[in-house]
């Protein structure tokens, strides 16, 4: 078999695999969008292109007299934003500390983080509930934010540390020779170079509360405190709950802030490799 023919076969197989993966990803998205436009409450007759498309379900979500969807949306955005800010701040400091400094307990702390990451959140659900109960954080957003940030620390600290390890330490030494302190080195030199990993951590930290139902469902009690995941679940889980098409419409709108954040951070995923390494 000639080299040209081998390349053609490999290229053909690659495109076939990519096409299959694309269909597996795109079809559910198109189906949920089509379901949200389908008249009625049932999904049994839903299709990608509904015959009598309607935006009535979206209008119902924004009707304050019929739905608390906007309140749930606001609650979720607030929790996601503060979770992202706190997580990125703490992970950046911890990752830098573990990468640049040697202190007592450093090795065991990293191993503890690794072990904690192996335990899923739902496995510690009873412990989380008891802790929230003892600290009076039941039905409070601050409790959710703290638990989310705590859950994000172990694995993301490892990611940040690994990235900081790739940044040459000579930059730190040069800055110290010029009289820069620890915080100035971290803020003006290391952080600009770490924009790609910080963007990834920010994206993960923002998405995590959006997609969580278990912890939010256990800790939140009041309907006006619900996040989107808990609130939308109530549409189909409560007695006589059959608002599946409204659920689909609410699920579609969840993708908007995540998409906006991804597009906003996309440039940082490929930048920062040369920024911050020069003297001001």
Written as tens digits, the pLDDT of the chain (280 aa) is: 677 888 888 899 999 999 999 999 898 888 888 888 888 766 666 667 777 788 888 888 888 888 899 999 999 999 999 999 999 999 999 999 999 888 888 888 888 888 877 777 677 888 889 999 999 999 999 999 999 998 899 889 988 998 999 888 888 888 888 888 888 888 888 888 888 899 989 999 999 888 889 899 999 989 999 999 999 888 877 655 577 888 888 989 998 999 899 888 888 866 544 444 444 3
Go through the chain and tell me how many residues it has.
Answer: 280
Q: Which of 111, 109, 132, 107 is nearest to 121 (CA)?
A: 132
Instruction: Determine the Cα–Cα distance for residues 138 and 197; give it in Å rounded to an integer.
Output: 33
Residue bearing tokens 């996601």: 80
Residue 270's pLDDT is what? 63
CA 3 to chain centre: 44
Summarised one tens digit per residue, pLDDT across range 216-233 is 999 998 999 999 999 988
């Amino acid at each position: 078999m000639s080299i040209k023919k081998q390349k053609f076969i490999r290229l053909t197989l690659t495109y076939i695999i990519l096409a299959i993966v694309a269909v597996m990803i795109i079809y559910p998205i198109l189906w949920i969008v089509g379901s949200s436009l389908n008249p009625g409450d049932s999904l049994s007759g839903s299709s990608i292109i509904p015959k009598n498309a309607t935006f009535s379900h979206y209008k119902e979500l924004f009707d304050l007299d019929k739905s608390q969807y906007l309140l749930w949306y606001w609650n979720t955005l607030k929790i996601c934003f503060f979770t992202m800010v706190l997580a990125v701040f703490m992970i950046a400091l911890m990752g830098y500390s573990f990468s640049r400094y040697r202190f007592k307990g450093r090795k065991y702390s990293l191993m503890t983080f690794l072990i904690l990451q192996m335990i899923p959140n739902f496995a510690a659900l009873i412990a989380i509930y008891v802790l929230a109960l003892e600290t009076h954080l039941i039905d409070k957003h601050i409790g959710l934010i703290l638990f989310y940030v705590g859950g994000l620390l172990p694995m993301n600290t490892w990611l940040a540390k690994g990235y900081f390890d790739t940044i040459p330490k000579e930059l730190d030494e040069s800055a110290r020779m010029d009289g820069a302190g620890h915080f100035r080195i971290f803020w003006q030199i290391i952080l600009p170079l770490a924009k790609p990993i910080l963007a990834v951590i920010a994206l993960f930290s923002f998405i995590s509360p959006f997609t969580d139902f278990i912890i939010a469902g256990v800790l939140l009690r009041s309907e006006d405190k619900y996040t989107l995941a808990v609130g939308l679940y109530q549409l189909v889980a409560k007695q006589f709950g059959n608002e599946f098409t409204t659920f689909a419409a609410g699920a579609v709108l969840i993708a908007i802030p995540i998409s906006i954040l991804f597009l906003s951070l996309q440039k940082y995923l490929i930048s920062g490799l040369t920024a911050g390494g020069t003297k001001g």
